[in-house]
Amino acid sequence: MTPKPPQPMTLPLQFDAEPTAPGTEITPPASDILPHLLALSFDHRAWLSLLAESWWPVRKEACMVRLGSGKPIKSAIPDGRDEVIVWLDPKLLPSNIKVLTRRKGKWVNVALSSLNGKDQQIVWPGPIPLFAVTHFSVSTPEIAENLLGLARGFANIVLPPQPITVETANYFEPKELGERGPRTAFQPPENWNSFRGAAAMAIWGVPSISPWVDLLCQWLANEKSSEIATYLEAPWLETPPWLLSNPEKSTNECDALWLGSR
């Protein structure tokens, strides 16, 4: 049986059920008017970290990433480092996540799916995933070659499938955030590396035939796999093996956004 392709990932239901707070605009989903691409400017060391971890930035504390619609927000690049611009497809990100955007001179919380062509600056409430990146861009061919050479020098980094293009960048000047921040921040769990390792071992070890592949797909999609587990007479396979070490935690805390790893 051919495994089903991965479905667009969503966050736990508590994000959908959040009460409306002051400063929040509610707009019906309108994916057809989403910005075509979101852009982020950072340095080449951050780029290497994104390739190594599949997310950026991965920190214990909450973080925010400032994105521009169609062009990046200007950021300070330390001396001696090269700038890399990351281009993300918003349709590959969870559509119900709340982000900050600036409207009528004020920062407001809106769902990602309700962004429109007039929204220029966005604050994403957590790390960005590598699987949502369409391509990277740099200012010269020499920088592109240098990046590829650097990536090849690390054993824990695989060259990304996304291309590196040479483009002249335009920027938005950053608007002051003040004390505002996204109402909901999210982080990968502390044992994220253990999850990734267990998922990678499962992908390597699971036989590439039905029903095992179907079981693996359900694990990575955070779906209930009881029917297949019953068919295999292995009820312990209802839960992905990377969750068994922490049975007291609910699967919502280990959502498919983090478990999928892509």
Does 153 share its domain with 194? no
Task: Specify the pairing of strand 133-138 against strand 164-166.
Answer: parallel
- Residue 20 forms part of a structural domain: no
Does 160 share its domain with 193? no
Residue-range definition of the domain harbouring residue 228 = 189-241
Does 148 share its domain with 197? no
Q: What is the pLDDT of residue 3?
A: 47
- Residue 116 forms part of a structural domain: yes
Does 120 share its domain with 228? no
> What residues of the chain score a pLDDT lower than 50?
1-32, 245, 247-254, 256-262
Q: What is the pLDDT of residue 34?
A: 58
Does 48 share its domain with 131? yes
3-class SS at 45?
helix
- Residue 83 forms part of a structural domain: yes
**Residue 260 near residue 220, CB atoms below 8 Å:** yes
**Residue 13 near residue 250, CB atoms below 8 Å:** no
Does 125 share its domain with 50? yes
Distance of CA 39 to the CA centre of its chain: 13
Could you give the angle at the alpha carbon of 25 between the alpha carbons of 23 and 28, nearest 5°? 165
Facing residues of 124 across strands? 65
Q: What is the pLDDT of residue 247?
A: 47
- Residue 1 forms part of a structural domain: no
pTM for this prediction: 0.70
Q: At what angle do helices 44-53 and 141-152 cross, to 10 degrees?
A: 40
Does 151 share its domain with 237? no
Does 112 share its domain with 222? no
208-230 CB burial, b ≥16 within 10 A, e <16:
eeebbbbbbbbbbebeebeebbe
Does 206 share its domain with 86? no
Q: What is the pLDDT of residue 222?
A: 64
Q: What is the pLDDT of residue 11?
A: 32
Does 200 share its domain with 140? no
Does 44 share its domain with 77? yes
**Residue 261 near residue 202, CB atoms below 8 Å:** no
- Residue 212 forms part of a structural domain: yes
Give the dihedral sign, CA 152/155/161/163: negative
In the chain, the number of structural domains is 2
Does 199 share its domain with 152? no
Distance of CA 107 to the CA centre of its chain: 22
- Residue 55 forms part of a structural domain: yes
- Residue 78 forms part of a structural domain: yes
pLDDT tens-digit series, residues 39-93: 999 999 999 999 998 889 977 676 889 999 999 999 999 999 999 999 999 999 9
Residue written as token pair 């390792």: 197
- Residue 29 forms part of a structural domain: no
Residue 237 has phi, psi (to 5 degrees) of -90, 5
